[in-house]
């Protein structure tokens, strides 16, 4: 998405002081200068999604505000992401760790709560901290919100526009630093994330025209306008801040067969813009390789009033792309960059001189001796342990649907090892079909998904995740026999796969074979006790059997995993209600109502009944009055509302009793006939 054209903004101004290099090493002086003694400095970090380094250096796209930052700061022309995905790359920025150190290898995973985050450290030093994120992968529940006084991720779907994010920032800044304020206040640490540019590219016509019809570059031109607006706000409200602009990863745009990102490790997706500006930073270009993990060190150093630890010019910059390995069982991929050489291990070895050959078209693996540090990095970079990802995967169905829209085939996938594991660069023809099939499945277009998954399986017969999804699609289409055969094939391929057993159990449940479903799902739960889908399904089995006690226990376990599900709270309330545990049921239904959504609107009758049981007629009235006449139990609503009316002595109580009688069904007619409150009415 892109923004409308605002009025022209003044170029952002920064004071430029004594010479220092923000991330350099090897030739003195090195490192960013520390701020002078006095109040801690304000710090602004701007992260761009999906922005290639070379996209900001094109003469055919006007980016005056980005150019202004570059003109006043130090431009790192060889900055590298750690992972070509949004969440793990940002985790690397905010922990200073590589993916195998912080444990997040792809979007939709949970960061370890014990991880040390930059925001929490600045918060402890007295900073007021705020984050404004624009894309689903960075929602606070994935773990990056800790340490932020404000973590603004309030939007529906996958993203919000840069303009909407800037509106939130403007309102917040106005409250933190009023224009009339003269007294010093706590320093501010502000992180702003823009999801633009991002597929699908839909710039406004004027930006598309300005980019010669290139939608990707058109979104960058539109984003530049919003960055100008942000910097105008920063100049007006903050006191000569440090500003760091960096992208999480790039975009393939067809390089080496990859249109988007997440699957390969070539320059288009791994090399990103990174510019630092602020007090004491002299404008210039830094050509030595540096990792985005450097962001954490720079922010910590600026906040502490010290020089950043110098970058070791001989250090190896490292990265990985594990999504194809985790999702499809393909070869794991790791990257190591040293000087002008870049090596990729992906089941084979590729080596490129990225200065002489930025397109990485000439593989030098057979003619170049790699430095010992690069060989060691390729050899020692670990791959995810099978089973570790599923435990920290997405929790609710909405998250799964959003991840599917981002191209994830298996939401509960764990890294697998295949004897026939293909090299991802040999499978580029499947990238687009995999994305399309996953999205079709998430949107409920199971016939289309099954057709696509079938074609993919012909090209990659050993792809267990695709085989399981095909089986699930056939099951959802009501094709039981075909699904049975596919699940049997999957179980033979990998008898130990929890994914196979889980989806087979759900298949049995769908067709009413409760015993087989329970057997499969319990076996999964024994080995993976936090799988939300399994807990929910076992609770459904207990509900069907009328075992409210067991259902309640399973739902309580599910809510430990995901306390944000209105549906789970509603189901917990019904189970507690069936057991006569009125206070617990009320608490559950109230929580569901507070969370909102369609499940919440179904709780009002239950709340009305329970409030009456607790002799809280005013609250019962409020709950019952929220219910529309299209409620499937409208006769019961009329009956309960008439009871409330009589108890409260409302003037229209006779009319309400009459309406309850007129609208009664067999059940409520009997209740009305026995109701002593209605005698004489």
Based on the number of CB atoms within 10 Å of its own CB, is 57 exposed (0-12), middle (13-18) or buried (19 or more)?
middle
What Å distances lie between residue 324 and 304, 474, 587, CA to CA? 40, 24, 43
At residue 344, does pLDDT exceed 90?
Answer: yes
**In the numeric block, which tokens belong to residue 149?**
């006084």
Among 509, 432, 502, smallest CA distance to 465 is for: 502
Among 387, 385, 332, smallest CA distance to 499 is for: 387
What is residue 462's three-state secondary structure? coil
Same-domain pairing of 134 and 238: yes
**How much is the average pLDDT of 504-519?**
97
- pLDDT by residue (tens digit) across 468-500? 999 999 999 999 999 999 999 999 999 888 889
Residue 112 lies in a domain: yes
What is residue 269's three-state secondary structure? helix
User: Residue 17 has what pLDDT?
Assistant: 29
At residue 405, does pLDDT exceed 90?
Answer: no
Same-domain pairing of 132 and 227: yes
Q: What is the C-alpha to C-alpha distance for residues 130 and 230, in angstroms, rounded to an integer?
A: 14
User: Residue 414 has what pLDDT?
Assistant: 58
* Span between the terminal Cα atoms of the chain, in Å: 61
Boundary of a domain, candidates 380, 414, 448: 380
Q: What is the C-alpha to C-alpha distance for residues 354 and 132, in angstroms, rounded to an integer?
A: 35
Same-domain pairing of 243 and 339: no
User: Residue 312 has what pLDDT?
Assistant: 80
Q: Is the Cβ–Cβ distance between 449 and 473 less than 8 Å? A: yes
Give pairs for 86-90: CB < 8 Å, separation 24+.
Answer: 86/49, 86/135, 86/137, 86/138, 86/248, 86/249, 87/137, 87/138, 87/142, 87/144, 89/248, 89/249, 89/292, 90/47, 90/138, 90/144, 90/193, 90/248
Q: How big is the chain, counted in residues?
A: 681
Burial 227-243 (b: 16+ CB within 10 A, else e): bbbbbbbbbebbebbbb
Query: 469 Cβ partners below 8 Å, 6+ apart?
Result: 409, 410, 437, 438, 441, 449, 453
Q: What angle do CA 187, 235, 138 make, to 5 degrees?
A: 65
Task: Check which CATH number belongs to the domain holding 88 and give it.
Answer: 3.40.720.10
User: Residue 35 has what pLDDT?
Assistant: 46
- Sheet arrangement for strand 349-353: 317-321, 333-338, 341-345, 349-353
At residue 39, does pLDDT exceed 60?
Answer: yes
At residue 445, does pLDDT exceed 80?
Answer: yes
Same-domain pairing of 620 and 676: yes
User: For 255, which DSSP code?
Assistant: G
User: For 56, which DSSP code?
Assistant: G
User: Residue 406 has what pLDDT?
Assistant: 53
- pLDDT by residue (tens digit) across 543-599? 999 999 999 999 999 999 888 889 999 999 999 999 999 999 999 999 999 988 665
Q: What is the C-alpha to C-alpha distance for residues 632 and 267, in angstroms, rounded to an integer?
A: 58
C-beta neighbour count of 368 within 10 angstroms: 13
**Number of independent structural domains in the chain:** 3
CA quadruple 77, 79, 84, 87: dihedral sign:
negative
Q: What is the C-alpha to C-alpha distance for residues 520 and 236, in angstroms, rounded to an integer?
A: 61
**In the numeric block, which tokens belong to residue 78?**
């060889």
Residue 107 lies in a domain: yes
Write out the H or E segment, with its range, that includes residue 152.
Answer: strand 150-152
Same-domain pairing of 121 and 207: yes
- pLDDT by residue (tens digit) across 178-195? 655 555 579 999 999 999
Same-domain pairing of 265 and 371: no
Residue 679 lies in a domain: yes
Residue 235 lies in a domain: yes
Q: What angle do CA 414, 419, 422 make, to 5 degrees?
A: 80
Residue 223 lies in a domain: yes
Same-domain pairing of 347 and 231: no
At residue 1, does pLDDT exceed 80?
Answer: no
Q: CA 375 from chain center: how many Å?
A: 33
Residue 78 lies in a domain: yes
What is residue 74's three-state secondary structure? strand
- More confident: 173 or 7: 173
Same-domain pairing of 186 and 242: yes
Q: Is the Cβ–Cβ distance between 509 and 538 less than 8 Å? A: no
Q: What is the C-alpha to C-alpha distance for residues 307 and 280, in angstroms, rounded to an integer?
A: 11
Q: What is the C-alpha to C-alpha distance for residues 652 and 136, in angstroms, rounded to an integer?
A: 49
Q: Is the Cβ–Cβ distance between 594 and 425 less than 8 Å? A: no
**How much is the average pLDDT of 206-225?**
94
Residue 267 lies in a domain: yes
Q: What is the C-alpha to C-alpha distance for residues 174 and 227, in angstroms, rounded to an integer?
A: 18
At residue 432, does pLDDT exceed 80?
Answer: yes
Q: What is the C-alpha to C-alpha distance for residues 213 and 170, in angstroms, rounded to an integer?
A: 31
Helix 464-476 and helix 446-459: axis angle, to 10°? 150
Q: What is the C-alpha to C-alpha distance for residues 281 and 15, in angstroms, rounded to an integer?
A: 9
Phi, psi (degrees; rounded to nearest 5) at 24: -90, 170
CA quadruple 498, 504, 508, 510: dihedral sign:
positive
User: Residue 602 has what pLDDT?
Assistant: 77
pTM of the complete model: 0.84
At residue 101, does pLDDT exceed 50?
Answer: yes
Among 55, 52, 106, smallest CA distance to 79 is for: 52
Same-domain pairing of 70 and 209: yes
- More confident: 307 or 331: 331
Q: What is the C-alpha to C-alpha distance for residues 453 and 584, in angstroms, rounded to an integer?
A: 45
Q: Is the Cβ–Cβ distance between 469 and 437 less than 8 Å? A: yes
- pLDDT by residue (tens digit) across 248-290? 999 999 999 999 999 999 999 999 999 999 999 989 999 999 9
Q: What is the C-alpha to C-alpha distance for residues 357 and 351, in angstroms, rounded to an integer?
A: 11
Same-domain pairing of 211 and 281: yes
Q: Is the Cβ–Cβ distance between 130 and 191 less than 8 Å? A: yes
Q: What is the C-alpha to C-alpha distance for residues 523 and 505, in angstroms, rounded to an integer?
A: 10
- More confident: 312 or 409: 312
At residue 336, does pLDDT exceed 90?
Answer: yes
Q: What is the C-alpha to C-alpha distance for residues 502 and 507, in angstroms, rounded to an integer?
A: 9
Proportion of the chain above pLDDT 90, given as a percent:
77
User: Residue 144 has what pLDDT?
Assistant: 97
R_g over Cα of the chain: 29
- pLDDT by residue (tens digit) across 132-163? 999 999 999 899 999 999 999 998 888 899 99
Range of the domain at 639: 603-681
- pLDDT by residue (tens digit) across 289-299? 999 999 999 99
Q: What is the C-alpha to C-alpha distance for residues 453 and 133, in angstroms, rounded to an integer?
A: 33
Q: How many helices (H) and strands (E) does the chain have?
A: 28, 13
Same-domain pairing of 274 and 353: no
- Mean pLDDT computed over every residue of the chain: 89
Residue 58 lies in a domain: yes
Same-domain pairing of 50 and 117: yes
At residue 601, does pLDDT exceed 70?
Answer: no
Give pairs for 570-576: CB < 8 Å, separation 24+.
Answer: 570/599, 570/600, 570/602, 570/603, 571/539, 571/543, 573/603, 573/606, 574/606, 575/543, 575/548, 575/549, 575/551, 576/552
Q: What is the C-alpha to C-alpha distance for residues 502 and 525, in angstroms, rounded to an integer?
A: 9
Q: Is the Cβ–Cβ distance between 95 and 115 less than 8 Å? A: yes
**How much is the average pLDDT of 85-90?**
97
């Amino acid at each position: 998405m892109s923004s409308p054209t605002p009025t022209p903004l003044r170029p952002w101004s920064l004071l430029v002081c004594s010479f220092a290099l923000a991330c350099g090493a090897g030739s003195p002086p090195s490192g960013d200068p520390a701020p002078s003694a006095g109040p801690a400095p304000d710090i602004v970090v701007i992260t761009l999604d999906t922005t290639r380094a070379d996209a900001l250096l094109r003469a055919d796209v006007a980016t005056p505000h980005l150019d202004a930052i570059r003109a006043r700061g130090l431009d790192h022309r060889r900055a590298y992401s750690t992972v070509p995905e949004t969440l793990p790359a940002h985790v690397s920025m905010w922990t200073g760790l590589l993916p195998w150190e912080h444990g997040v290898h792809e979007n939709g995973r949970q960061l370890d709560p014990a991880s040390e985050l930059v925001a929490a450290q600045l918060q402890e030093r007295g900073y007021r901290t705020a984050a404004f994120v624009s894309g689903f992968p960075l929602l606070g529940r994935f773990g990056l919100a800790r340490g932020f006084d404000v973590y603004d991720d309030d939007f529906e779907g996958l993203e919000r526009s840069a303009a909407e994010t800037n509106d939130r920032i403007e309102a917040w800044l106005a409250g933190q630093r009023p224009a009339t304020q003269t007294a010093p206040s706590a320093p501010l640490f502000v992180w702003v994330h823009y999801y633009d540019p991002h597929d699908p590219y839909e710039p406004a016509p004027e930006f598309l025209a300005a980019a010669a019809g290139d939608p990707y570059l058109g979104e960058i031109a539109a984003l530049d306008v919003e960055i100008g607006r942000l910097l105008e706000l920063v100049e007006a409200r903050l006191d000569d801040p440090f500003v760091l602009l960096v992208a999480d990863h790039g975009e393939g745009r067809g390089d080496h067969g990859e249109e988007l990102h997440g699957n390969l490790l070539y320059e288009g997706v791994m090399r990103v813009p990174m510019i630092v500006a602020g007090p004491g930073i002299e404008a210039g270009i830094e050509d030595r390789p540096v990792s985005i993990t450097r962001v954490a060190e720079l922010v910590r150093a600026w906040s502490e009033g010290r020089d950043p630890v110098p970058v070791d010019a001989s250090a190896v910059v490292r990265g990985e792309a594990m999504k194809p390995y985790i999702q499809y069982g393909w070869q794991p991929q790791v990257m190591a960059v040293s000087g002008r050489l870049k090596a990729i291990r992906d089941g084979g070895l590729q080596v490129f001189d990225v200065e002489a050959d930025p397109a990485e078209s000439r593989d030098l693996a057979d003619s170049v001796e790699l430095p010992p540090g690069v060989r060691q990095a390729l050899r020692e970079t670990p791959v995810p342990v099978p089973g570790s990802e599923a435990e920290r995967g997405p929790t609710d169905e909405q998250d799964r649907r959003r991840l599917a829209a981002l191209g994830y085939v298996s939401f509960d996938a764990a890294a697998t090892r295949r004897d026939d594991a293909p090299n991802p660069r040999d499978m580029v023809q499947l990238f687009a079909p995999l994305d399309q099939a996953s999205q079709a499945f998430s949107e409920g277009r199971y016939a289309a998904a099954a057709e696509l998954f079938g074609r993919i399986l012909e090209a990659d017969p050993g792809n267990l995740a695709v085989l399981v999804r095909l089986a699930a699609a056939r099951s959802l289409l009501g094709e039981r026999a075909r699904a049975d055969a596919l699940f049997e094939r999957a179980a033979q391929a990998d008898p130990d796969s929890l994914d196979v057993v889980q989806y087979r159990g759900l298949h049995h449940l769908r067709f009413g074979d409760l015993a087989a479903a329970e057997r499969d799902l319990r076996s999964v739960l024994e080995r993976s006790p936090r799988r939300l889908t399994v807990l929910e399904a076992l609770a459904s089995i207990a509900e069907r059997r009328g075992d409210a006690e067991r259902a309640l226990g399973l739902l309580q376990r599910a809510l430990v995993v995901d306390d944000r599900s209105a549906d789970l709270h509603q189901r917990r309330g019904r189970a507690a209600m069936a057991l006569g545990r009125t206070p617990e049921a009320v608490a559950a239904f109230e929580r569901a109502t507070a969370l909102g959504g369609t499940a919440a609107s179904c709780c009002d009758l239950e709340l009305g009944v329970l409030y009456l049981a607790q002799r809280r007629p005013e609250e019962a009235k409020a709950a019952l009055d929220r219910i529309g006449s299209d409620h499937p139990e409208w006769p019961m609503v009329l009956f309960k509302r008439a009871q409330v009316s009589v108890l409260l002595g409302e003037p229209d109580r006779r009319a309400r009793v009459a309406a309850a009688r007129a609208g009664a069904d067999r059940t409520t007619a009997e209740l009305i006939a026995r109701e002593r409150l209605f005698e004489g009415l």
